[in-house]
Structure 1
């Protein structure tokens, strides 16, 4: 277990949050928030995730705004940011990559695949 890896899950769908918490907590420390505003507030309280996995379409503060916040602050710029979305269009993926997303996974997804995407990113940046 790599409990020093803090994965911040940001998704308004409780079923997605619960699935990811259940699967990823076997390997990492998992923090789940229901929208970008909750995630931003949590970060601003002094918490620093190792990686962020965020949905795009959420109330209050969507994934695009969260990406802008994270990538707009040099203190957080090195945090890998993965998008987990039902939006399948190439234009959505390109918009996210232009905004600084490191990965884009389309729902429905396999949690084991997501785990390995996170694991491999962490391995490359020497957090594992």
Structure 2
């Protein structure tokens, strides 16, 4: 059975790219923003991992991550950021809050595969 990944991404080309790269290995659920992701989670869905962009409408990826990381129900779901945001202070803040990874766009697909594989195999810790 494939792992389910919730992907929070509003950019259509990036959604397409992630779909092409990952659909062979994972079941993918796409939502445009953190608010839609929260709604999906509140309906009883628990993914194996969440991948989120930072810049999304209605609720950005960081606020979405803060909300679920403070929730007893969703705090154990591994969370990975894939974002254009490059400042180290922000990356460090995400990792201190509990993100399992941070990948800058544009990225090499191999980096994405290695990151996700490492998270699922428990090789990547906070």
Question: Scaled by the length of structure 1, what TM-score is found?
Answer: 0.90
* Equivalent position SS for 2:47: coil
Cα shift at 1:112: 3.0
CA RMSD of aligned residues (A): 1.3
* Pick aligned residue for 1:46 from 44, 47, 71: 44
Indicate yes or no: 2:111 matched with 1:113.
yes
Q: State the partner residue of 1:20.
A: 18
Instruction: Answer yes or no: is the 8 Å Cα contact 1:35–1:59 preserved in 2.
Output: yes
Instruction: Structure 1 unaligned segments of length 5 or more: list them.
Output: none
- Summarize the alignment of residues 6-85 of structure 1 with structure 2, pairs less than 5 Å apart: 6-85=4-83
Q: State the partner residue of 1:88.
A: 86
CA distance in 1, matches of 2:110, 2:11: 19
Deviates more, 1:92-101 or 1:76-85: 92-101
Cα shift at 1:121: 1.2
> Deviation string for 1:82-104 (max 9, x for gaps)?
01110111111012112221111
Instruction: Answer yes or no: is the 8 Å Cα contact 1:21–1:32 preserved in 2.
Output: no
CA distance in 2, matches of 1:45, 1:114: 28
* Equivalent position SS for 1:46: coil
Cα shift at 1:115: 2.0
CA distance in 2, matches of 1:89, 1:106: 10
CA distance in 2, matches of 1:24, 1:58: 21
Q: State the partner residue of 2:122.
A: 124
Aligned residues: 123
